[in-house]
Structure 1
Amino acid sequence: MSTEKRLAVARLWHEGNSFSPLPTTLADFERREWFDGVAQLARYRGTGTELGAVAAFLDSHPDWEIVTLRCASAPPGGAVEDALYEGIVTDILRGLADGGRWDAVYLSLHGALVTMGEPQADLKLIRRVRDVIGSTVPLGVSFDLHANVSPELVHLVDFASGYKTHPHVDMDQTAARVLAELERLAAGGARLAGAVAKVPALLHSFNMRTNAGPMAETMADARAATADGVKDISVFGGFVWGDSPDAGGTALAWAETPQQARNAAEDIAARLFGRRAQFQTSLPTPQQGLAEALKHPGLVCVVEPSDNPLSGGIGDTTALLRALLDVRIDGEAVFAFFYDAGLVQMAAAAGIGGVLPVKLGGRIAPHFGAPIEARAEVLALTDGHFINEGPFETGMAVDLGATAVLKVDNVKVIVTSSCQAGIDPAYFRLHGIDLAKTRLVAAKAKNHFRAAFADRAAVIVDVDTPGPAALDLSVLPFRHLPAGMEM
């Protein structure tokens, strides 16, 4: 009889914007990540991702058999179609039920997954996994820092931990933490006690970076409190555009005793709540932001978080480009991006050097800004494939679908066939853009953009524009928030 220990791995990673007009479909998952079978782990080896950590665990643990069940992730976007969610969950549950004996199970989740009809989709999945594997098999989960975490979590899992950096450059470290705890439990180690303390406030992620500010201070408090029997504390900012009964900030603690865990979680949650006003912000208009950025020499960047794909943006709003076209810039200006597969096809038909009438943006949600009508020259066409080289998801292959670069007046406009943020230097190199010779980049992005560009740009200015991830939460039709939640 084999003495190998057996680990089941499954992944369903998606951050859902409840207010996006675009649902997340199977095609979105297939373009980014859709596989099962351990052989597929090879492409994640050495990457800064959760599955990169699983590959490293496999390499360093010849006494473990890893069975990779359905692994699916899609870029942040609108709610996942209900039938698609159910199909993915059924794949995972069937694999667990038919797989025989498990010594541990690891789930890689985001924590802010919503479907058309289920605002607690991650929690529902965890419940169903626990029902299949029983109460004795160690179950560990990793989450994004922006997870909306339920207090029920600690009654369902043996360990869970979240990213501790924003921008998120510790995905692999987070998974490694969970895997190490599962290994300890599988070897007979004592189960830790968990506690969740909720923060009754929606915390905007604009000021949630962990290099400075209120989240950095709270993370430092959590590190200092991880001592004397407290083994791990995760601080979750929550995802404000995910309409969920579990919305709001969270502190999650694991300790040797329930009292230690509860005290640690409640203390960190209270500190986070006490800093809630520091998460509020105001942003300049696009015109003000462009003027401020251009006061600085060298490469400058202006970003519009309201249409950031990593917050569920749709790559379609027009306010920033409209303002940019009114500015005469001494040097090259780049706008990244619009999501419009039809326009890419038109550009491909015209060919490089071709000139065509275009409508930019306003295709999906014109109420966020009417289309910009212009004549554009086709500068470049690509297959949309590149490898991330920045610190966010380092080494991961990206497929944008076919893309085009159009020149409209004095601006190069990138148009793609999928809605994915341009946050990596390789994204721009793919499109023939030399950042060293670029004066201004205007991007649909937010905090993750800074991971690769904070050291490259003289300044990065956020601006306020209409969009599905807009600054003003009071205009959004929330239905599931807990009573008494501060906005």
Structure 2
Amino acid sequence: MPHIAVARLWFEGNSFAPIPTPKQAFESREWGSGAAHLARYAGTSTELGALHGFLAARPDWQATILPCIGAQPGGPMADDAMRAWRAEVEAALKARRFDGVYLSLHGACVTESDPEADATTLHRIRAIIGPDVPMTASFDFHANMAPEIAELLNGASAYRTYPHVDMAEAAARALAQLERRLSGAPRAFGAIAKRPMVLHSFHMRHEAGPMAEVWAEAAAAERGPILDASIFGGFAWGDSPHAGPSAMVYAEDPGAARDLAERLADAIASRRARFAVTLPDPATALAQALAAPPGLVALLDPADNPLSGGIADTPEMLRTLVEARLDVPAVFAFLHDPASVAAAQEAGPGATLTRHLGATVTEAFGRPVIIDVVVERLTDGRFVNEGPMERGAPVDLGPTCVLRAGNLRIICTSRKESAVDPGFFALHGIDLGATRLLANKGKNHFRAAFRDRCVAIVECDAPGPAALDLAALPWRHVPRAWL
């Protein structure tokens, strides 16, 4: 009866965000272990949801759930948070021998002191469990993959959709590879190939475009000795020595794994020009959005997208909306602004306040927007994702408020989560059917639930931690020639 260890570290670090991501950010979103923690994810479209189903179908298997932690993307993970997680995981792995290990990793974790934290984690775990214990992992599509990761693992897989609606499927593939090895099947050989470049992810969606073509090529190759062929777009704001797109292949033959990984890496590189992107400024983008046919239109600010490590605090898109004096129903989602939430709670619904909105963390991306608002709604910040991303997973924003200024509703939260699920807006009493403009700090993940709800989606180029101009950022580990 196999007994496996499971651990999770899901974090994408933006090296250029103004503040580190503290341990509290993980504790408020996910930091748990044991059977009770796994049970929270039963039936959800998540990696732990897949693990729950996998174990339920195999009653002869046992799993020890070691600390599983996750936080929204943000500034580099605080070193003390990483030390705390590793200490718990490593102590448990040293305390007994497991038959196998499954890890849920992001692949683009950077800490205050380590730009390759996922690779470091795998090196440390492999040193503890030894060379003979099978270990597999699932990764986010935006991982920045160090080549040695392929040799540290006995199998792995990555999300194959963007927006990421197949987290559970990626975990199931990684677990299947672990089961294959534990059943006595021959060793799998892994290879990771990368080309010297960092690409924007705007044109990496799975439904069409250059990366969709490479995904299709990888899927067609999964036959014969090829067990898994995964590609990565990389995370453009993670300053890692191995930042950027790559391909990872596991096969029964090392030459087959290496050859296919190189071919897929070439397939990405040959499409490099098609990943380039230019965006209009916020005012131009707003005009384009409002010129769309009747219906809900979205205006996105990807430079402060929380799922790219944004701080949900930059002011320029909000300033554009306020200065436009909109004559249509509009919603701005959102600001991570605990002080405004507290002020709204103290004043109560219907009260009028003067608030300085945005730029509470830093004025490097613009000065605050000073505005008179009416407190329209207060919430406890709790809802369940409708999906398709992380369907069924609970979300806790902390207390929130809706502030109104004319036709514009402004949502403020106490915790930094993304606004990419319809449940976020239902919580705040927003009737999307009666809304003309939905301004959102988001990018491609927003499209998973809203592509079919919107008649148009327009992105703008505004200042923020996930800025469009990569060459202007203070890189330390990525050569300028890659940008």
Judge same fold: TM > 0.5, yes or no.
yes
Instruction: Give matches, 1:291-370, under 5 Å.
Output: 291-296=287-292, 297-370=294-367
* CA deviation after TM superposition for structure 1 residue 287, in Å: 1.1
Specify the alignment match of 1:34 in structure 2.
31
What runs of 5+ residues in structure 2 fail to find an aligned partner? Answer: none
Q: What root-mean-square deviation, in Å, do the aligned CA atoms of Structure 1 and Structure 2 show? A: 1.0
Contact 2:97 2:129 in 1 (8 A): no
**Equivalent residue for 1:429, pick from 426, 430, 445:** 426
Tell me which amino acid in the other structure corresponds to 1:275. Answer: R
Corresponding position: 1:399 with 2:383: no
> What CA distance in whole angstroms lies between the structure 2 residues aligned with 1:38 and 1:23?
31
Corresponding position: 1:159 with 2:155: yes
> What CA distance in whole angstroms lies between the structure 1 residues aligned with 2:51 and 2:36?
12
Specify the alignment match of 2:203 in structure 1.
207
1:27 is paired with a residue whose SS is helix
**Equivalent residue for 1:190, pick from 186, 189, 196:** 186
> What CA distance in whole angstroms lies between the structure 1 residues aligned with 2:62 and 2:364?
52
> What CA distance in whole angstroms lies between the structure 2 residues aligned with 1:402 and 1:344?
7
Q: Alpha-carbon deviations, 1:140-170, whole Å to 9, x = none?
A: 0111000000111122110111111000001
* CA deviation after TM superposition for structure 1 residue 328, in Å: 4.1
Tell me which amino acid in the other structure corresponds to 1:246. Answer: H
* CA deviation after TM superposition for structure 1 residue 466, in Å: 0.4
Instruction: Give matches, 1:89-238, under 5 Å.
Output: 89-98=86-95, 100-238=96-234
1:224 is paired with a residue whose SS is helix
What runs of 5+ residues in structure 1 fail to find an aligned partner? Answer: none
> What CA distance in whole angstroms lies between the structure 2 residues aligned with 1:180 and 1:341?
43
* CA deviation after TM superposition for structure 1 residue 409, in Å: 3.0
Contact 1:325 1:410 in 2 (8 A): no
> What CA distance in whole angstroms lies between the structure 1 residues aligned with 2:131 and 2:209?
40
Identity of aligned residues (%): 51
> What CA distance in whole angstroms lies between the structure 2 residues aligned with 1:359 and 1:422?
21
* CA deviation after TM superposition for structure 1 residue 101, in Å: 2.9
1:367 is paired with a residue whose SS is coil
TM-score (normalizing by structure 2): 0.98
**Equivalent residue for 1:8, pick from 5, 8, 12:** 5
TM-score (normalizing by structure 1): 0.98
Contact 2:151 2:191 in 1 (8 A): no
> What CA distance in whole angstroms lies between the structure 1 residues aligned with 2:234 and 2:186?
30
Tell me which amino acid in the other structure corresponds to 2:427. Answer: L
Specify the alignment match of 1:372 in structure 2.
369
> What CA distance in whole angstroms lies between the structure 1 residues aligned with 2:476 and 2:35?
40
> What CA distance in whole angstroms lies between the structure 2 residues aligned with 1:179 and 1:155?
17
* CA deviation after TM superposition for structure 1 residue 319, in Å: 1.1
**Equivalent residue for 1:22, pick from 6, 19, 43:** 19
1:151 is paired with a residue whose SS is coil
> What CA distance in whole angstroms lies between the structure 2 residues aligned with 1:200 and 1:484?
10
* CA deviation after TM superposition for structure 1 residue 485, in Å: 4.3
Specify the alignment match of 1:460 in structure 2.
457
Contact 2:151 2:189 in 1 (8 A): no
> What CA distance in whole angstroms lies between the structure 1 residues aligned with 2:84 and 2:174?
26
* CA deviation after TM superposition for structure 1 residue 276, in Å: 1.0
> What CA distance in whole angstroms lies between the structure 2 residues aligned with 1:321 and 1:40?
38
2:202 is paired with a residue whose SS is helix
1:368 is paired with a residue whose SS is coil
Tell me which amino acid in the other structure corresponds to 1:245. Answer: P
Corresponding position: 1:473 with 2:477: no
* CA deviation after TM superposition for structure 1 residue 405, in Å: 0.4
Query: For residues 408 and 418 of structure 1, do their structure 2 counterparts lie closer, same or farther at Cα, with a shift above 3 Å needed?
Result: same
> What CA distance in whole angstroms lies between the structure 1 residues aligned with 2:480 and 2:416?
35
> What CA distance in whole angstroms lies between the structure 1 residues aligned with 2:368 and 2:469?
23
Contact 2:471 2:480 in 1 (8 A): no
> What CA distance in whole angstroms lies between the structure 2 residues aligned with 1:448 and 1:7?
32
Contact 2:6 2:65 in 1 (8 A): yes
* CA deviation after TM superposition for structure 1 residue 331, in Å: 3.0
Specify the alignment match of 1:270 in structure 2.
266
1:358 is paired with a residue whose SS is strand
Specify the alignment match of 2:382 in structure 1.
385
* CA deviation after TM superposition for structure 1 residue 46, in Å: 0.7
**Equivalent residue for 1:441, pick from 438, 446, 451:** 438
Q: Alpha-carbon deviations, 1:283-331, whole Å to 9, x = none?
A: 0111111111112211000000000000000011111111112334443
1:426 is paired with a residue whose SS is helix
Contact 1:200 1:484 in 2 (8 A): no
> What CA distance in whole angstroms lies between the structure 2 residues aligned with 1:161 and 1:254?
9
> What CA distance in whole angstroms lies between the structure 1 residues aligned with 2:139 and 2:215?
16
Tell me which amino acid in the other structure corresponds to 1:261. Answer: A
Contact 2:17 2:465 in 1 (8 A): yes
Query: For residues 485 and 235 of structure 1, do their structure 2 counterparts lie closer, same or farther at Cα, with a shift above 3 Å needed?
Result: farther
> What CA distance in whole angstroms lies between the structure 2 residues aligned with 1:22 and 1:399?
22
**Equivalent residue for 1:49, pick from 46, 50, 54:** 46
- Runs of 4+ in structure 1 deviating by more than 6 angstroms, as ranges, are none
